[in-house]
Structure 1
Amino acid sequence: MPPDTPTPPTTPEQALAIVRSRYAQPELPDGTPAPLHVHEFDIGYLVYATFPPATGASAPTRPAAPAAPGGSKIIVAKDTGETVAVPNYPVETAIALYRRQARQ
């Protein structure tokens, strides 16, 4: 049985493996897996999915409605391997929020 706490990651690939082992894979509208990206910063790795804009026949003919609220990005702590969900904010804003939470 694997340990409850993962080994702290030392590479973006290891952080991505931790996220994939703990969270469901986000999907594109056609059901294929959404690409996951990793942004490394001093105390962690921010892992998030990206969803390309609709093009061709699936592109909307009118302006897009605002995005639905919700969603999150995942941060993997470099020192412990623990994961924390943060709101789906822009990268730097999500990291700043995590830093504020980590200091508490």
Structure 2
Amino acid sequence: MPSADIVINRCVGQGAFGLVYGGEAKRNGRWHAVAVKKINNKATYEGKTDFLSEARLMRRLNHKNVVRLIGVCLHPKDKDILLVMEFMLLGDLKSYLLGRRILAQRDK
């Protein structure tokens, strides 16, 4: 995916490999909300390999309940590797479920 088709706006969280950002990506001539996982170019070889293995796995998954990988990009300026994915409006599943559990316990 060309880096010119990605706009990174703000940090929305921390992932296993680094920071996760909210942004926009141009696909088929239209801009869409995306999440961008970023691994620093100074990460270890093993870290980069694991990060790219996650991308390969995500590329093969195709289910309405699993976030889709849109593309992978090497940032031209700092050489960080970017994974561009669908933006999950309600956040990740773990955080969502933990939040619901707290609400359910309060309602008892």
The TM-score normalised by the length of structure 2 is: 0.28
Structure with the higher fraction of residues in strand conformation? 2
The TM-score normalised by the length of structure 1 is: 0.29
Structure with the higher fraction of residues in helix conformation? 2
Structure number with greater CO (CA < 8 Å, separation at least 6) is 1
